[in-house]
Chains A and B, each alone.
Chain A
């Protein structure tokens, strides 16, 4: 990637957990240039409150933060909360034993500040590639299972046909369940179009998903319209679906 080049949007949300606003702003701008959607959080608690592991595809994590350190956050998420979201440490700690400690706690990679944009993007892509190769390709939100490499869908263990667009749209919404997703965001990441295109096509697809795949609540999930904003996929309270592994 060239420094002056702005990459097309990618379907990948990267969380930046860093209490240093200068570094967080720098990382977010670098991510935006590379086509990623960056979400910044001032602390681990802020991340838990506003987002959660299931809503980002990868985390750039600072180590030294007030309250819960990045290391403690990572250990807890890996050991107790079974979080599989890939994590790259981006920190000032540069001693060998610290790097080893970070990786042993469950980080997928480790970088010291200041980061160079091309190296950061290469590391992110490398981690995402490795994740796909290692078989973490089936994403589950019971009763839905998305095999990302095969582009196949199973509901309650049974294969279901979905067009490429339906698959992409559902996967995008499930990865962001509980959050409002704007039509502009869907156009950019699923349709790969600019936001000045008519949004009727999205509404039509959403209606189809509700009927064909039980996203009207009958599957335990409801795809709701949010007035003047977009859509939100929610778990139906009291549904019999298995607990969400990411929640």
Chain B
């Protein structure tokens, strides 16, 4: 498993919580995809409208979702986007593309982990 994508310690915590709620690991995957996609869409809209404040806010939200999910790389990327929300549009565009790919990669890595568990 790619540890840059998913934090091993957080996965262990999610697995442990499955003892209380067996459906919890799968529930987390669905919630992650929904919340991360929604936050990314918000970032994109803000970028299109050149609204730095909104971009910062949605990037912050994405950072929180990534953090709770243990998605280390996504968290770092969202944090960079949040910090540099006011910088030139071309940089943000590249960052948004990177984030989109990382969300997909994180989703696949977690789904693989679920299957192996």
- Give the B-binding residues of A (Cβ under 8 A): 3-4, 6, 19-23, 25-26, 29-30, 32-33, 62, 64, 92, 113-114, 117
Q: Is B57 interfacial (CB 8 A cutoff)? A: yes
**Contact status A21-B35, CB under 8 Å:** yes
User: Does B31 lie at the interface of the complex (its beta carbon under 8 Å from any beta carbon of A)?
Assistant: yes
Chosen A-B contacts, 5 in total, with CB atoms closer than 8 Å, are A20-B65, A20-B68, A23-B65, A64-B57, A113-B67
A6 lies within 8 A of B19 (CB): yes
The minimal Cβ–Cβ distance linking A225 to chain B, given in whole angstroms, is 31
Cβ–Cβ contact A114 & B70, under 8 A: yes
Assess A30 versus B17: contact at CB under 8 Å? Given A22-B32, A23-B65: yes
Task: Report Cα–Cα, A128/B30, bound state, in Å.
Answer: 34
Residue of A nearest to B39 (CB): A20
- The distance in angstroms between the C-alpha atoms of A33 and B20, with both chains bound, is 6
Cβ of A19 to closest chain B Cβ, rounded Å: 8
- Contact in complex: A22, B65 (CB < 8 Å): yes
| Chain B residues whose CB sits within 8 angstroms of the CB of A29 once the complex forms | 17, 20-21, 24
3 nearest CB pairs, A to B: A23-B68, A29-B17, A3-B16
For B12, B14, B65, B68, the residue with the greatest tally of chain A CB atoms inside 10 Å of its CB is: B68
Beta-carbon contact of B13 and A117 below 8 Å:
yes
CA distance A139 to B60 in the complex (A): 39
CB distance from B35 to the nearest CB of A (A): 5
Considering only CB atoms, which chain B residue lies closest to A117 in the complex? B13
Which residue on A lies nearest to B38, using beta carbons? A21
Q: Name which residue of chain A comes closest to B17, CB basis.
A: A29
Residues of A within 8 A of B13 (CB): 3, 117
Report the minimal beta-carbon distance from A71 to chain B, rounded to whole angstroms.
14
B44 within 8 A of A: no
Closest to B71 in A: A22
| Count, A-B residue pairs, CB within 8 A | 63
- Cα distance A201–B32 when bound, in Å? 44
The reply to whether B64 and A26 contact each other, CB–CB distance below 8 Å, is no
Interface residues of B in 23-51 (CB under 8 A from A): 24, 27-28, 31-32, 34-35
- Which residues of the other chain, A, contact B21 by a CB distance below 8 angstroms? 29, 32
A92 to B59, CA, bound (A): 11
Contact A92 B17 (CB under 8 A): no
B64 to nearest A CB, angstroms? Answer: 5
Contacts of B20 in A (CB 8 A): 6, 29, 32-33
Residues of B with C-beta under 8 A to A22: 28, 31-32, 35, 65, 68-69
Contacts A21-B31, A114-B10; A26 near B68 (Cβ below 8 A): yes
- Residues from chain A with a CB closer than 8 A to the CB of B19 are 4, 6, 33
Q: Told that A25-B28, A114-B68 touch, could you supply 16 new A-B pairs with CB distance under 8 A? A: A4-B19, A6-B20, A19-B61, A20-B61, A21-B34, A22-B28, A22-B68, A25-B27, A26-B17, A29-B21, A32-B21, A33-B19, A64-B60, A64-B61, A92-B64, A113-B68
Chain B positions 57 through 98: 1 when the CB is less than 8 Å from some CB of chain A, otherwise 0? 100110111011110000000000000000000000000000
Cα A3 to Cα B21 with chains together (Å): 13
Distance, CA A117 to CA B68, complexed state (A): 12
- Which B residue sits closest to A115, measured CB to CB? B68
> How many Å from the CB of A136 to the closest CB on chain B?
30
